Amino acid sequence: VGAAAAACLALNARGLDAGGAGVDPLTAATPLLLALAVSVLVMRLYPRPMATLGRVLGGRRGTVAYLGTARAVRDPVAGFVPMLALVVGMSIAAFSTVVWATTERGIEQTAWQQVGADVRVSGPPLAEAELAAVRDLPGVEAVAPVVTPGPTLFKVGPIDNRVPLYVVDVAALDQVRAGGTALDPLPPRLTEPGPDGAIPLLVADGIVDEGATGTLSLSERLDAVVAETAESIPGLTTGSQWMLADRGVLEEAGVTIIPPRLTLVDLGDGGSASAVAAELGERTVTTPASAIADLRGPVNDGTARAIVGAIALTGLLCAAAVVLTMVVGAPSRGRLLSQLRTLGLSGRQGEGLVVWEAAPVAAVSLVTGLLLGVVLPWAVLSGVDLRSLTGGGEQPAVHLPVGLLGAVTLGFVLVVGVAVVVSVLTGRRLTPAGMLRMGDET
């Protein structure tokens, strides 16, 4: 337990960039140490509620439930060995599922950050006639051309830098942003000139403070004011430095706007990216789906297959552990059943005793393993860099796929249930007389 706590603290204190290349021993050992620590704690605490349950059941009619709980508590081979296997196996399966879902969510977020709309068109400059043709296509809801004049001299106080400038029709971009993703509109102050006709700008966080004034050098030097700051604009901005201005405001200030090389398109019912691509010819057309496919690549596909294989393998190993444990306990269980059958215990009651002996252990182990597997990502992923898998600039937040976790848990329940049924069916072949003779011989 102490080693697991120390490993978690060391992994979280180290951060994302200290792991280095290759297999990191600390990252690999932390999940196993946590699983072993939790298993030890559960094994220490498990007998107490089971003993209480046994005392409660002992005062009721029927002996199957009482004897089953008693054997689950008193027989360490039948009670604790499969618990360790099931806790570790279930936690590995749940942890792998959460890591895969987190990576997939990170890829989707990175793809949207790159595309920013249903369709992103880039390449040679687009003429107004081509933009009009795209607007007239069936299913096209909104079109937002983006002009990128390149790094523009922006001077605010001591800051005198060339910062990439994006010129857009704010109203058109808001229509695109309000499409399938329902992003918040851009600041309305971008469409209204500031004091003394200053050009309002949306600026990346960390460059200057909101409300700062300065000059913007385009075809001429213009007064500018920072209307607001933002982290990024999906589909447009890259890097940590950028500015965005409204096309109409710049045109009113006498700035000549060049044709756009980038356009974002929002599609409705009946719209298709292929129709947009066919209309625009030799240009790069990107959709969120195509960006996701590019980001996944063979590494992510191999990771997904490895996770599926790991889940299947741990399920089979858990089933094998249950079966082997029940086989190890079969002689003592058989002698007890033989003695009870001579006292009138029926065969069905004997099978119920076997189920009662295994079911509480399996239930506690699976629930504990599931909870551990869900908690593990928060303890481990803060020190594991997933950005190489997502292609993004930020570590993705942990994502819990509730439905997928439920399916994995159900699969483990079925596998363990089959293992218990196999043990019950195997026990049918033991006759009372044979088991009693074995007891006499021993």
User: 279 Cβ partners below 8 Å, 6+ apart?
Assistant: 130, 133, 134, 137
Domain assignment present for 292? no
Judgement on whether residues 251 and 343 belong to the same structural domain of the protein: no
Judgement on whether residues 37 and 134 belong to the same structural domain of the protein: no
pLDDT at 436: 47
pLDDT at 376 over 50: yes
pLDDT band at 173 (very low <50, low <70, confident <90, very high): very high
Judgement on whether residues 30 and 129 belong to the same structural domain of the protein: no
Per-residue DSSP letter, 382: G
For the record, the structure tokens of 293 come out as 């496919």
Average pLDDT over residues 362-370: 88
Measure CA 177 to chain center. 25
Q: How many domains does the chain have?
A: 2
Give percent of the chain with pLDDT exceeding 70: 78
Whether the CB-CB separation of 133 and 126 falls below 8 Å is answered with no
pLDDT at 266: 92
Separation of alpha carbons 38 and 365, rounded Å: 10
Q: What is the pLDDT of residues 181-196, one digit of tens each?
A: 667 788 889 999 888 8
Judgement on whether residues 257 and 158 belong to the same structural domain of the protein: yes
pLDDT at 174 over 50: yes
Judgement on whether residues 355 and 412 belong to the same structural domain of the protein: yes
Judgement on whether residues 250 and 189 belong to the same structural domain of the protein: yes
Domain assignment present for 291? no
pLDDT at 78 over 70: no
- In the listed set 286, 316, 341, which residue is the last one of a domain according to the structure? 286
Give percent of the chain with pLDDT exceeding 90: 26
pLDDT band at 334 (very low <50, low <70, confident <90, very high): low
Judgement on whether residues 24 and 158 belong to the same structural domain of the protein: no
- Domain range enclosing 281: 119-286
pLDDT at 439: 47
Q: What is the pLDDT of residues 410-427, one digit of tens each?
A: 988 888 888 878 767 765
Judgement on whether residues 93 and 164 belong to the same structural domain of the protein: no
Judgement on whether residues 36 and 93 belong to the same structural domain of the protein: yes
Angle between helices 25-45 and 2-14 (to 10 degrees): 150
Judgement on whether residues 245 and 330 belong to the same structural domain of the protein: no
H or E element, residue 371: helix 347-380
Average pLDDT over residues 252-256: 89
pLDDT at 427: 58
